[in-house]
Amino acid sequence: MRAGLYSMTIEQRKLADATVFPIGLGGMPMSLSGRPPEERSIRTIQAAVDAGVNLIDTADAYSADDRDTGHNEELIARALEGRRDGVIIATKGGHVRTRDGGWEVDGSPQHLREACEASLKRLRTDRIDLYQYHRPDPDVPYAESIGALKELQDEGKIRWIGISNADTGQIEETRSIVEIVAVQNELSLDFTSPLGKGEVAACEEHGMAFLPWGPLGGASDATEAAGRHRPVKDAAAAHGVSPQRVALAWLLALSPAIVPIPGARRVETITDSIAAAELVLEPDEIAAISQAAGVG
């Protein structure tokens, strides 16, 4: 595994039979409308890898619209040319963009197969490390969508399978069909539902990674003197770090299964996020932040 700035001193976390740095990188902000210049995005990805990050999350739908499908996958492939060794790329299928930049779902087995084949080409690989069903399609039985991923895995096109935006019932249904190694759901100061509804606990119980998307939600509110997340601001001041770094350190303290994947558009942002892996919050700080976030 690639050794980075932090990777030799920070305790790693588990993803299937691999170890990963506690903080991953989410690629979405680099490819939506209003995205940063490509060169800056490539520097951001490379800075993350150089610092020890070895999990990068993307999706075919991370693009400006349907004419731009796969933009983020292609960007990541270019950034990692000659640097791919030891880096796990997680991508997703089942979410699609519309011409006007909107979002729709397509969980049909035919679409998932076509999407996976296209992702393989864009990522310049013959096997995707982690392929995740992006979002349930209400018009397609969940088992059919997961069955399509199992077929692709049986064919050697997928190493590991994960699911995203899934509840505990869908987690259990998926586990009855195929082994899954990760669940990627929203989790942040402002959205703690996976803690109360058991999604994080299910990952702990079954040895799966929980990959929070949008993990910095609410962190910017902590800069306000009277904001709901005042304990985050207080902890940031006490440690001399940003509220965003505290928010990620808090997530890491909640469960050993959690591996946040914050998005980034510039080197400075991901560098600050990565440093959360070495920030140790005091028990009373964790308790105060959790109480403010509504976590019992």
Two structure tokens written together for 71: 């933009």
Please state the separation of Cα 204 from the chain's center in Å: 17
Provide the whole-model pTM: 0.95
SS3 state of residue 39: helix
Two structure tokens written together for 93: 């299928």
Burial class, 143, CB count within 10 angstroms (exposed 0-12 / middle 13-18 / buried 19+): middle
Parts of the chain with a pLDDT under 50: 1-2
Letter for the amino acid at 33? S
pLDDT for the residue 296: 76
Two structure tokens written together for 130: 């982690």
pLDDT for the residue 143: 98
pLDDT for the residue 220: 81
Residue of 124, 122, 119, 123 lying closest to 133 (CA atoms):
119
Angstrom distance (rounded) from CA 6 to CA 21? 9
pLDDT for the residue 180: 98
Q: List the catalytic residues.
A: 62
Two structure tokens written together for 120: 């393989």
pLDDT for the residue 227: 75
Residues 6+ apart with CB under 8 A from 49: 2, 4, 56, 80, 83, 87
Angstrom distance (rounded) from CA 21 to CA 69? 28
Letter for the amino acid at 211? L
